[in-house]
Amino acid sequence: MKPRLSPFAAVLFLAGISSVHAAPAQNAQNQCITLKNISITDTVITKAEWSNGEISADRMSSLTGGSTNVLQSKPHCVVEGEIGARTGADGKHYGTKFQLRLPENWNGGFLFQGGGGVDGFVAPAVGSIPVRTYTATPALMRGYAVVSMDGGHPTPTPNFGADQQARLDFAYQSTGKVTAVAKHLIQKMYAVAPKHSYFMGCSNGGREAMMAAQRYPLEFDGVIAANPGFRLSRAAVAQQWDYQQFMKIAPKDAQGNKILANALTQADLDKVSEAVKNRCDARDGLKDGVINAWESCDFKAEHAGLSPAKTAALKAVMDGARDSRGNQIYSGWYYDVGMNQSDWRKWKLGSSQTAKPDSRGVTLGAGSLTWYFMTPAVPNFDLSKFDFDRDTPKTYQTGAINDAVSTDLSTFRARGGKLIVITGVSDPVFSAKDQVAWFRQMNADTPSAQSFSRLFMIPGMNHCGGGQAFNDVDPLTLLENWHGSNHAPDRMIAQGKSFPNKQMPICAYPKVATYTGGNENKADSFECR
């Protein structure tokens, strides 16, 4: 006997010959509402409502790359819930909260939207391109079912590090839990499983994306990791290194307090950016403010013409964190034109003219290091006294579960998975040089890596967008064409507000965009070489 289909499933079956799974509006609304009563182990569904499309702005956009504007979508179902609610070792409430949006006209795809910062919030599940300067259509508006989550703790603060399971959830386990629940709800809504599953995120969301490929290779068919904090434990140590180096030269106010923000003035950073441009800009065949040949740029701190003290501090920072024996703790950084941009200052120096620094490296990095990355947590640790010999090893335990450093992607590759990594050469928080080193090693360790992986380095771009760069890109379309139609991308066409009425190809590493003649504003005037 053939199994009987429900009326809703029958509609979907008949529509299955097309790429869109559509149902009469009333059927879809009714099916949405029934999801509130779905029984899923260790999961509570708190909301299942029909939405006519308006979606609030992402209040944490600076950390996620999400939209800062109210968005309009077509009708869809909004499901919210919590997985694994419990009381932690610190007596506080924990659980992984999520939001899943299920469009009436579904394209058969599922997209997991990564978080940002230390998570602790549920961003609107719209599947925004994870580079905040994007203009491309978000995934939800393309017909994807999209899920977002809070990483297993309720506030965007790092004190969840007091609980063992909360550490594990933030590191990677929440991704697995939410994926399983989201796919179950998709099956219930549409009566079919997703045809393909993607993960896309920036910053910590980019780390989560890389973790999806590394720890859940059977769950995802495609991953987009933008400016990923994949070696987050070491980057947190590097932020303290930067702080200490800059504080050595920070001038004092009238009360004798050192002011971190004034260690390098805006004029200093402008001078560095201009000096880098003068030395390396023309190496791609065109002097246009974009250093496409960034890897061959041989700029040194001494070339900027700063004072000896400022030169020494800049060199120490750009060479990367080291122990007393000179051993590298965290990667060095590329010199690039984006070093004078606001985002670079926000992370490295801040703008506070008081004794209390406001750089994100201090305000975000300090708490993360003491509560989460150090084992055991040391909340009252004086980071001005962080010892790079004695204290760095205290981060190794968390690094082992948190850092997305695996270079074995053999299962992900064998299943046809595709990986796209995007990084700004001028990222001030996660080193582009470190990302390149990982990509090279992954290519060496995973056979046929070029068949499934691409790295796109965006000159001048800061963290998750911004900078003086061609920072308006659409990697999701690249992934769709690659995974869906086997069109392997060798370039990504980009634009940016810093360069109006101009397009530039961002070439797949190790090739770079090289000017070959013709209209400088046209992407086809450049070749990837």
d(C-alpha 273, C-alpha 49), whole Å: 51
Q: For the beta carbon of residue 448, count every other beta carbon within 10 angstroms.
A: 11
- What pLDDT score was predicted for residue 521? 97
Tokens of 18: 């097309």
- What pLDDT score was predicted for residue 62? 67
- What pLDDT score was predicted for residue 16? 35
- What pLDDT score was predicted for residue 21? 56
**The three-state (H, E, C) secondary structure of 330-381, written as one string:** CCCCCCCHHHHCHHHHHHHCCCCCCCCCCCHHHHCHHHHHHHHHCCCCCCCC
d(C-alpha 170, C-alpha 167), whole Å: 5
d(C-alpha 243, C-alpha 274), whole Å: 24
- What pLDDT score was predicted for residue 55? 85
148 SS3 class: strand
- What pLDDT score was predicted for residue 69? 76
Q: For the beta carbon of residue 26, count every other beta carbon within 10 angstroms.
A: 8
Cis peptide bond prior to 376, omega within 30° of 0? yes
**Beta-strand pair 109-113/93-103:** unpaired
- pLDDT tens-digit profile, the chain (529 residues): 333 333 333 333 333 333 455 555 678 999 999 999 999 999 999 999 999 878 877 777 766 767 777 888 899 999 999 999 999 999 999 999 999 999 999 999 999 999 999 999 999 999 999 998 899 999 999 999 999 999 999 999 999 999 999 999 999 999 999 999 999 999 999 999 999 999 999 999 999 999 999 999 999 999 999 999 999 999 999 999 999 999 999 999 999 999 999 999 999 999 999 999 999 999 999 999 999 999 999 999 999 999 999 999 999 999 999 999 999 999 999 999 999 999 999 999 999 999 999 999 999 888 899 999 999 999 988 888 999 999 999 999 999 999 999 999 999 999 999 999 999 999 999 999 999 999 999 999 999 999 999 999 999 999 999 999 999 999 999 999 999 899 999 999 999 999 999 999 999 999 999 999 999 999 999 999 9
| Residue extents of the structural domains in the chain | 1-198, 234-401
Q: Helices in 395-458 by DSSP H: which ranges?
A: 396-402, 410-414, 432-445
d(C-alpha 420, C-alpha 199), whole Å: 10
- Is 151 in contact with 94 (CB distance < 8 Å)? no
Residue numbers annotated as active site: 203, 427, 463
134 SS3 class: coil
- What pLDDT score was predicted for residue 4? 37
- What pLDDT score was predicted for residue 383? 83
Tokens of 244: 């200490």
H/E stretch holding 278: helix 266-280
Sheet containing 453-458: give its strands across: 43-51, 76-87, 93-103, 145-149, 109-113, 196-202, 222-226, 418-424, 453-458
- What pLDDT score was predicted for residue 1? 36
Q: How far is CA 397 from CA 166, 234, 311, 372, 435, in A?
A: 14, 12, 35, 10, 21
46 SS3 class: strand
- What pLDDT score was predicted for residue 261? 97
Q: Residues with Cβ < 8 Å from 301, sequence gap 6 or more?
A: 311, 312, 314, 315, 318
- Dihedral sign for Cα atoms in the order 364, 374, 231, 156: negative
